[in-house]
């Protein structure tokens, strides 16, 4: 009985009832952490490539963005479904009043010509992670919730053009190691234990 029940649950997973998330490389075309004396903090993460695809739907499940600055802090930001809308080639997120956290704009899309773009812009006092002096490394994880994919960037071969406690800027990096995704804000991600 337990074996047939477990096989039935497994069949639901495999038949499309629930997709299993994958990790995709989304190396940083640009990663900026700005922490000026004025307090106008800013994060800009941009990835462009021709290999990644959009897997998942943030308009129904939301998304999250986790940034980990080596030894200098980690911040998980949830981007709820209410801020997302569909476009002809992907999804965009807007929260101009920063009502749901520091992310003001986000975008994930894949054009018919095969160009993938992922962008996250965060601003304001809700940003808690700051650059080091120097920043010893970084990892990011953009996750589309409820079975969507994770898009990962990390320090690779590029050398930062700015690396102080006020500003960290790296361009055209090639690292794609994944930091852990943010936890589900609602506790909606449940792990099923299958017994065979």
Tell me the HSE value of 177 on the side-chain side, using a 13 A CA sphere. 10
Q: Which sequence spans correspond to the domains of the chain?
A: 19-171
Cα separation of 183 and 87, whole Å?
A: 26
**Residue 138 vs residues 48, 55, 119, 125, 127: alpha-carbon distances, Å:** 18, 24, 17, 21, 16
Predicted TM-score (pTM) of the model is 0.84
| Rounded CA separation 60/135 (Å) | 36
Cβ–Cβ under 8 Å, residues 154 and 140: yes
pLDDT per residue, tens digit, the chain (196 aa), is: 444 433 333 333 333 345 568 999 999 999 999 999 999 999 999 999 999 999 999 999 999 999 999 877 899 999 999 999 999 999 999 999 999 999 999 999 999 999 999 999 999 999 999 998 899 999 999 999 999 999 999 999 999 999 999 999 999 999 999 999 998 654 443 333 223 2
């Amino acid at each position: 009985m337990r074996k047939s029940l477990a096989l039935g649950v497994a069949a639901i997973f495999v038949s499309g009832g629930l997709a299993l998330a994958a990790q995709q490389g989304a190396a940083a075309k640009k990663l900026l952490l700005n922490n000026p004396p004025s307090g106008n903090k800013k994060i800009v993460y941009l990835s462009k490539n021709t290999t990644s695809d959009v897997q998942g739907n943030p308009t129904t499940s939301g998304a999250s963005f986790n940034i980990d600055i080596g030894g200098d802090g980690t911040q998980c930001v949830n981007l709820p479904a209410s801020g997302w809308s569909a476009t002809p080639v992907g999804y965009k997120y807007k929260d101009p009043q920063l009502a749901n956290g520091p992310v003001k704009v986000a975008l994930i899309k894949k054009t018919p010509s095969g160009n993938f773009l992922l962008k996250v812009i965060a601003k304001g006092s809700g940003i808690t992670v700051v650059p080091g002096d120097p920043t010893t490394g970084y990892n990011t994880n953009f996750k589309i919730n409820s079975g969507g994919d994770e898009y990962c960037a990390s320090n690779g071969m590029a050398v930062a053009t700015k690396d102080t406690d006020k500003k960290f800027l790296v361009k055209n990096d090639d690292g794609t190691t994944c930091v852990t995704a943010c936890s589900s804000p609602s506790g909606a991600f449940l792990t099923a234990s299958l017994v065979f």
